[in-house]
């Protein structure tokens, strides 16, 4: 649940953050009260806060969550999300150890030079004794396959090495 929903719930639940508690951001130094409303609520409730959400509001929140799950956005929160997905592996080699890292990174650089849309989506890493370079953050294998076909047409000399692999991906919402 995001902050906007929580504020809505708190407001609808009868004003837990009443105007009196939110009046002074700097705190009431003479009375020894906490500086901000959250600290004040925690102090006054001794850490036990009960939020009574009316049934119609709770139903609306749950309905929103179910709709986002049906749309495939259940795991996505604002910001950076890591999830299971797919990438196109464009380099994998374990021979000629002294030049592997530079070759793996050069392959990624060549792809970004031709396809700027993959800038920030090139992942070169080592899993001894091999080096790998993978491209993209695709949610489905179909998206990754389409990208791989595009990359194979652009780089036929690397086509035999390219494959779609399951990977932990990064999705920014």
Q: What confidence tens digit (pLDDT) does each residue in 92-141 have? A: 988 777 788 898 999 999 999 999 999 999 999 988 888 999 999 999 99
Average pLDDT over residues 45-49: 67
User: What are phi and psi for residue 89, nearest 5 degrees?
Assistant: -85, 120
pTM over 0.75: no
Q: Are 51 and 9 in contact (CB under 8 A)?
A: yes
Average pLDDT over residues 2-25: 49
Q: Is the pLDDT of residue 37 over 80?
A: no
């Amino acid at each position: 649940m995001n902050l906007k929903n929580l504020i809505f719930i708190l407001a609808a639940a009868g004003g837990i953050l009443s105007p009196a508690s939110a009046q002074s951001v700097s705190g009431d130094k003479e009375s020894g009260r906490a500086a901000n409303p959250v600290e004040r609520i925690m102090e006054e409730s001794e850490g036990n806060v009960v939020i009574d959400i009316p049934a119609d509001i709770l139903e609306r929140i749950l309905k929103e969550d179910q709709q986002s799950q049906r749309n495939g956005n259940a795991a996505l929160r604002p910001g950076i999300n890591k999830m299971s997905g797919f990438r196109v592996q464009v380099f994998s080699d374990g021979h000629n150890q002294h030049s592997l890292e530079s070759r793996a990174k050069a392959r990624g650089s060549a792809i970004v030079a031709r396809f700027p849309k993959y800038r920030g989506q090139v992942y070169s890493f080592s899993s001894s004794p091999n080096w790998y370079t993978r491209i993209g953050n695709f949610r489905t294998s179909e998206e990754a396959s389409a990208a791989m076909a595009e990359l194979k047409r652009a780089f036929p000399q690397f086509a035999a090495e390219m494959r779609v692999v399951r990977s932990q991906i990064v999705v920014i919402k």
